Structure 1
Amino acid sequence: MTTPNKPRLSCIDLFAGCGGLSLGLKEAGWSGLFAIERDPMAFETLSQNFLVPGAPYASFADWPAWLPKTNHDIVALLKNESVRKHLRSLRGAVTMIAGGPPCQGFSVGGRRDGADERNSLVYQMLDMVELVRPRVVLIENVEGIARRFVARPGEASTSVAESVIERLSDLGYTSIFDVLDASLFGVPQSRRRVVIVGIQDCPMSPADLKATFNEMLSKSAVAVRQHWGLHQTKNVTAKEAIADLTGGARVVCPDSTEFESAVYTKATSAYARAMRRGQKTGSIPDSHRFSKHGERIQALYNLAHQTQPPGRLSKAFLLENGTKKDKKVLIDASAVVSTITTHPDEFIHYAEPRNITVREMARLQSFPDNFHFYGRYTINGPRRKHDVARCSQVGNAVPPLMAEGLGLALRNLLDLLNAQSAAASPALPARQRPKVSAQEKIFSGIVAD
C-alpha cells in the first residue's frame, strides 16, 4: 500500500519475534531499518522472510553494518557502549521505534506476576527510545499492561502502561493508550490489545491526540479491508479463514516425515484467497503438520462436536471425560475465534477431531501462506519460557493486518501533524513552494489550493 512521493518512513522493530509487526508495517509503507529479537528460532523465521536473498518480503535494505544480522538480546546490546554510540548517531534518522515487549508477566491469560523479569523489558525499549529519539513510539501489548498490580503496603498501585506514559512524557513525548480489537482490521480473531502511541514534540493535547488517532484508525481499518478485498463491516469467520486447509488429501508432512499434513482444497472466501498468495490447490501448505492424537483424545473431540456448543468447554465436561486440561476451545465455524495463544492444543478444529495446526494458527493471525515458519513446532517443559517454537512465534505475534492498520494510521497522523506545522510556519511565495502531486494530496488529506 505504498504511495508515491512520500518521504521515507524508517522503523526499528524491537522484540520482533517472527516479524508480524514488521510485515504489517511494510505493507503500510514503512521501511524497516533493523529488528531485534533474542530467540534464534524466531529470528530464523524473520530472516528467511525478510533478509535472505530472494526473501518473499525483502526488507531492511539499510540494516547498519555495525549490527550483525543475527539474534540479539536487547539487554546485552544496551550494555555495550559502542552500540549505544551507534544508536545515538541515528537521532534524526529514525521515524519510529515499535515493538511488543514480552507480555507473559502481566498477561491476564496466564499467571500475572509483577516481579516477572520479562516485565522490565518494556523499559529497555524506552532506554533505546531515549538514545535514538524517534518521532514516534508504538508499543503493542496485552490488556494486562494497563491493569494495576496489587501494591505492597505503603506503595502506590500503578500499571505498566501508566509508568511507560510517564517515562515517555519525561522524554518529550505526548502519549496515549487505547484498547483495539484485531478483528477491526479483518483479522478472523477477537484479540484485544493495548496500543501505546507516543509523538515527539506533539502540538496536540493527549485528549486531542487520542481523538485524532482513533479517527485515523477507523479510516485505516477501511483501507486495510479494501486492500485485501474483504467485506467492510462483516467479520471474517473461522470457516472463511481456514476451510481450504480442511478436508484435503492426507500426505506426509514435508519437514516432519513422521507426521501427516494435507493438501490445499479450493479457496472459497475472499480472505482465504488473499492469504494464499499464489499457493496452488493440491499443494502442501507450510507448517500444516497434524498432531498425533490417541484414541482417547479423538473420542473426546468427537464427543465435543456432538454434544457441546462452540466456545470454551466446561471444566465439568473435561473432567468427566478424563482430561485435566482446564482450557479447550471448540472453534465456532461461523464466528471469529477467541485470542490465539501459544498453545495449539487449546483449540479444537470446528470440523475435524484434532487441534489446529501452526498454519491454521497463522491464518487466524492473518499471516499469508508464503510467510514460512522455522524452528521446532512445539516445546514443552521449562524451555517454553526461553525458546520460541513455531506455535509460540505465531501466538506471540502482532497480527500483520492489525499492524498494517496501525502503520497506515500513524502515517496519516504524521501527514496531518506535518501539514499543521507547515501551515503554522511563515508562508513561502507560491513559486518557492514544493510541488505536491494530486495523489499525495488525496492520501494525506491535504486540500489543494
Structure 2
Amino acid sequence: MNDIDEAPAWTSIELFAGCGGLALGMHRAGWNGLFAIERDPMAFETLETNLVDANAPYKAFSRWPNWMPRKNTDLVALLANSEFCDHLRGLKGSVDLVAGGPPCQGFSVGGKRDGEDERNSLVYRMLDFVELVQPRAVLIENVEGMARRFVSKPGTAGTSVAEDAIAKLEDLGYIASYHLINSADFGVPQARKRVAIIGVMAAGMSRQALHDLTAVAIERAAKAVRVEHGLPAEGNITVKDAIDDLAGARVVTSPDSPRFKSGVYGVAKSAYAKLMREGVMEGAIPDSHRMSVHGEGVRTLYELAHRTQTPGRLSKEFLLKNGTKKDKKVLLDSAALVATITTHPDEYIHYKHARNITVREMARLQSFPDRFTFHGRYTINGPRRRFDVARCSQVGNAVPPLMGEGLGRAVIEVLTTIGEIKAKPKTSRRTKVDA
C-alpha cells in the first residue's frame, strides 16, 4: 500500500528518526507513519526491523511510498534532489504532522554549546522540508539547551534556536510555541528534560492561546500514558522498578557475543518491568543485554564505590585517587530516577553489581520495551562516534517512547480541539430589540 489517496487519519512523517523512539511512541498514540528519514545505517536497521518490516513487532510505517528509498538517507541530500522535492509538494493536504528531533550536540547543555555548529543548521533543513509538505502540525523535540540563548556576538542580539525556529515557522504560516517537559512525568524512570516545539496551521489563533491549549494537552497526555499502561498515576518510576529483573542473578553466554556474558530474566516485580516485558517469553535472554568485561582495576573501583560512596555522580577526587582519569561516573541510585541517559554506558555503575549497565538496561531507562531489538555494533570509540551510531548511541540519543507517545497524544488533542473550534458556528452579536 504505497498510494496516499486514501490515507488513514493522523498521518505523520518523521525526520532524524534515529532508532525509532519517537516513532514507536507516535505509533502507540495513534499516528500512522508515512515514512521516516534517518542518515545512519545502523540506526536505520534498528528502525526498519522494529517499525517498518512486514513482520515488525510494531508496524508504524505501513504506507511507505515507492518514490521514497527504504534505506538510510540524508535529509540534506534529499532536499537537493528536485524530483524528491516534487514528490514532497505532492503531499500537500495529506500529511497531518512532520515530527523530528534534529541532532542537538551544538546546543546541548551537556556538551560544548556552539552556535556555529553545522548540526544546528539541520533544524532549518527540517523547516525547509515543512515548507514543501505543509503539514497541519509540526513537532520538534530537542534538548533543554535549544531554548537557551547563545552568547551574542558584538553588535548582535543573542537568541535561542527554539525562538528562531518558532519565528521561521510563523513565517511559513504556523502558530508555534515551545514547552519544557520532563520524561519522568510520562512514566519514564529518568529526569530527562526536553524542549518540545509544537506548531499548527491555525489562522486567527494567538501564540499564547496555542501555548495554553498545548500545555493542558501535554499534561493530560502524560497522565493518560501512565494510566493506560498500568503505571502509577503519580510519583516516579525508580531505577529498581526499571531494571531489577535484568540484574543477572543467572548469567549465561551472550547470544550475539560469545566472548561476553548476559543475564537471564529474573522475576518482574514492578508494573513498569511487566510493561517492558509484554510479549517476551519467560526465561528468555534479553536482547542487547551483553555485560562488559572489566579489568581488575575497574572491578575494584566499582566495588569500592558500592561500599563507600553515596549513589549519584562520583567525585573527581574519588575517581583520581582510585586510578581512573574518567571524570564522570554515576553510581545508580536504585530508589530514585536516573539523570539524563547519555550515549556512554561506561558512565553508569549498576547499583547492585560491579559493572557498567548494559544497552538493554539503558533502553529500559529510556522506556523501550524488550521486544524492541537493537542492531549494529554495541559501541564505537574515537572520532567515528561523530558519524556512526552504535547501539549505545542509538539508545542514548532517542526520544523515550513513553514521552513520544504523550507528545503524539497531545498533538492529536490540539488538532482535534482546533478543528472543533473552527467547526463551531459563530454566535450572533446582535441584541434583541423590544417590539
Q: Shorter-chain-normalised TM-score: which range?
A: over 0.9
**Equivalent residue for 1:430?**
none
Kindly report which structure 2 residues correspond to 1:226-245, keeping only aligned pairs within 5 A, or say none.
Answer: 226-245=227-246
Kindly report which structure 2 residues correspond to 1:31-430, keeping only aligned pairs within 5 A, or say none.
Answer: 31-424=32-425
| 1:7 to partner: Cα distance | 6.3
| 1:398 to partner: Cα distance | 0.4
**Equivalent residue for 1:435?**
none
| Structure 2 SS opposite 1:118 | helix
Give the letter for the 1:341 counterpart.
T
Q: Percent of aligned pairs with the same residue?
A: 61
CA contact (8 A) 1:264 1:280 kept: no
CA contact (8 A) 1:263 1:281 kept: no
| 1:281 to partner: Cα distance | 3.1
| Structure 2 SS opposite 1:138 | strand
Q: Any idea what the Cα deviations from partners look like across 1:91-148, whole Å, max 9, x if unmatched?
A: 0000000000000111111122222111110100000000000010000000111111
CA contact (8 A) 1:177 1:194 kept: yes
| Mapped partners of 2:223, 2:156: distance in 1 | 45
Q: Any idea what the Cα deviations from partners look like across 1:25-78, whole Å, max 9, x if unmatched?
A: 000000000000000000000000012221101121111110110000000000
| 1:202 to partner: Cα distance | 4.3
Q: Any idea what the Cα deviations from partners look like across 1:175-227, whole Å, max 9, x if unmatched?
A: 10011000000000000001101011344211121111111112111110111
| 1:425 to partner: Cα distance | 6.4
Q: Any idea what the Cα deviations from partners look like across 1:253-305, whole Å, max 9, x if unmatched?
A: 11111111110001000000000022233210000000111111111111111
| Structure 2 SS opposite 1:257 | strand
CA RMSD of aligned residues (A): 1.4
| Structure 1 SS opposite 2:13 | strand
Q: What 5-or-longer segments of structure 1 have no aligned partner?
A: 1-5, 428-449
Whether 1:14 and 2:15 are equivalent positions in the alignment is yes
**Equivalent residue for 1:27?**
28
| Mapped partners of 1:319, 1:424: distance in 2 | 70
| 1:317 to partner: Cα distance | 0.7
Q: Any idea what the Cα deviations from partners look like across 1:303-349, whole Å, max 9, x if unmatched?
A: 11111111111111111111111111111000111100100011111
**Equivalent residue for 1:441?**
none
| Length-normalised TM-score, structure 1 | 0.92
| Structure 2 SS opposite 1:211 | helix
| Mapped partners of 2:204, 2:154: distance in 1 | 39
| Structure 2 SS opposite 1:260 | strand
| Structure 1 SS opposite 2:415 | helix
Give the letter for the 1:390 counterpart.
R
| Mapped partners of 1:202, 1:227: distance in 2 | 34
CA contact (8 A) 1:266 1:281 kept: no
After superposition, the Cα gap between the structure-2 partners of 1:21 and 1:202, relative to the gap in structure 1 and judged at 3 Å, is farther
| Structure 2 SS opposite 1:180 | strand
| Structure 1 SS opposite 2:36 | strand
| 1:424 to partner: Cα distance | 3.4
Q: What 5-or-longer segments of structure 2 have no aligned partner?
A: 1-6, 429-435
| Length-normalised TM-score, structure 2 | 0.95
Give the letter for the 2:57 counterpart.
P
| Structure 2 SS opposite 1:140 | strand
| Structure 1 SS opposite 2:293 | coil
Counting matched residue pairs gives: 422
| Mapped partners of 2:162, 2:224: distance in 1 | 29
Structure 1 stretches (4+) deviating beyond 3 angstroms? 424-427
| Mapped partners of 1:48, 1:384: distance in 2 | 22
| 1:164 to partner: Cα distance | 0.3
| Structure 2 SS opposite 1:258 | strand
